[in-house]
A = this chain, B = another copy of it.
């Protein structure tokens, strides 16, 4: 009676990242389909060696995922899945909380400046991280904000990020199309640029150029939003004169060239 051969591997991985070992996951899954099983039954159902079942069950009880009967032999039962996962998450959430505060304390120790940024080009991975960086750039804008990005990217949440830009700072948006009403807050330039829609790479391989953008603040800080074919967004950020100048030229060039072509 080994009915547990069909345990999806993805499920095991998920449970592992919640702090369970392979055996713990297998035993818990096994117990979910068999109420009140003895240790030997657990062994049969889960495929875990009988001798290993005892320490594993101990750990699961400790983690509040199974309950034990007071009979001999002992019988075991699993708590319902949603609640079991909840119990695991509670621990992790608590760890996350204490880690957050402890790390924050360390983080604030160091002065914010730390010459770290100047003259360096940083790659940032993960959409969240990029957004955070952009929010910081916009918030600290003092003289100018220029954005050259595909509508796909703008629409999603870029516009919300632009809210904290001080009122005194002019904002230039360049994109290839615009849906919805035109915002009065920004200087909007809608240019149906082919460059922004698709590009052909090596020869005839059509490369979708979906979400990408270039952001320049105060002519001093630049961010390039890229997106690989895998869809994983990454970005370059820099305050170096070189990259800033490049971006400066890129934006003006595209704008000029597109204006000439279109009209």
Contact = CB atoms under 8 A, between A and B. Distances in A.
Contact of A96 (B18, B32, B75, B96): B18
A160 interface: no
Interface residues of A, number: 68
Given A17-B92, A79-B129, A132-B80, A120 B36 contact: yes
Given A103-B84, A107-B80, A69 B132 contact: no
Interface string A27-43: 00100111110000000
Nearest to A237: B67
Nearest to A112: B35
Number of this chain's copies in the assembly equals 2
B96 A88 contact: yes
A2 interface: no
Interface of A: 8, 10-11, 13-15, 17-19, 29, 32-36, 61-62, 64, 67-71, 75, 77, 79-93, 95-96, 98-100, 102-104, 106-107, 109-110, 114-117, 120-126, 128-129, 132, 236-237
A123 B70 contact: yes
